[in-house]
Amino acid sequence: MISAYFDKEASKEIERLIQKVYKATGNTFMIEHKVPPHLTLAAIQAREEKSLISAFYEITSDLSSKPIDIVSVGMFLPYVVYITPVLNQYLLDISYQISEQIKQISDASISKCYQTMNWLPHITIGKTLTSSQMKKALEVMMNNFVPFKAEVCKIGLAKVNPYEDIETVCLYP
């Protein structure tokens, strides 16, 4: 998985929303799994970690920190509530760069839901929610979400289930 991470202020706001949803629903997934505030840029299946690390550094070599506007709340029925940024040129360019690098690795592929022009960028706030938890989570979001800016300040390569950082690159000078 390749993800974008945010400045402290934006991360605190995302954490606040995660905590509010947790307290209202009792759903512990995000808390128990210690999921950091992030925007998944690509979900990648690969056999060889070494080739992914090399591609990761190629992808991040020319990236810089840029702002994104987080503007809306959404859901993937029936289990996930999220916030979403505007899909701007910066995010599209990163998605394209990832796609181009991963194409060059014979035993790697990007999940179809994260391929360029087939990707809905989102920041998960609640996951594995039941129907009643989803209703409570949406009410929390309606009462607490206000659009905000976030600075993408770090890109990371990680394993999932359980979450484990492999490599990270800070985009600040």
CATH number of the domain where residue 29 is located: 3.90.1140.10
132-155 confidence digits (pLDDT tens): 999 999 999 999 999 999 999 999
Range of the domain at 69: 2-170
Q: How far is Cα 158 from Cα 105, in angstroms, rounded to an integer?
A: 17
Average pLDDT of span 97-124: 93
- Domains held by the chain: number: 1
- Predicted pLDDT at 24: 98
Nearest to 44 by CA among 86, 107, 92, 88: 107
52-101 confidence digits (pLDDT tens): 999 999 999 989 999 999 999 999 999 999 999 999 999 999 999 999 99
Q: How far is Cα 142 from Cα 164, in angstroms, rounded to an integer?
A: 32
What are the structure tokens assigned to 54, written together? 């090399």
Instruction: List beta partners, residue 44.
Output: 110
CB 52 within 8 A of CB 153: no
Instruction: List beta partners, residue 158.
Output: 165
Nearest to 141 by CA among 7, 22, 37, 26: 22
Can you give the C-alpha Rg of the chain in angstroms?
Answer: 16
Q: How far is Cα 101 from Cα 9, in angstroms, rounded to an integer?
A: 31
The total of other beta-carbon atoms located within 10 Å of residue 23's CB is 12
| Residues whose CB falls within 8 Å of the CB of residue 148, separated by 6 or more in sequence, listed in order | 10, 13, 69, 70
Q: Kindly report which listed range (42-46, 69-73, 91-95, 163-167) carries the lowest average pLDDT score.
A: 163-167
Please state, rounded to an integer, the average pLDDT across all residues of the chain. 94
- Percent of the chain with pLDDT strictly greater than 70: 99
- Predicted pLDDT at 173: 55
HSE-up of residue 54 (Cα within 13 Å, Cβ side): 9
Q: Kindly report which listed range (9-13, 135-139, 156-160) carries the lowest average pLDDT score.
A: 156-160
The answer on pLDDT for 8 being more than 70 is: yes
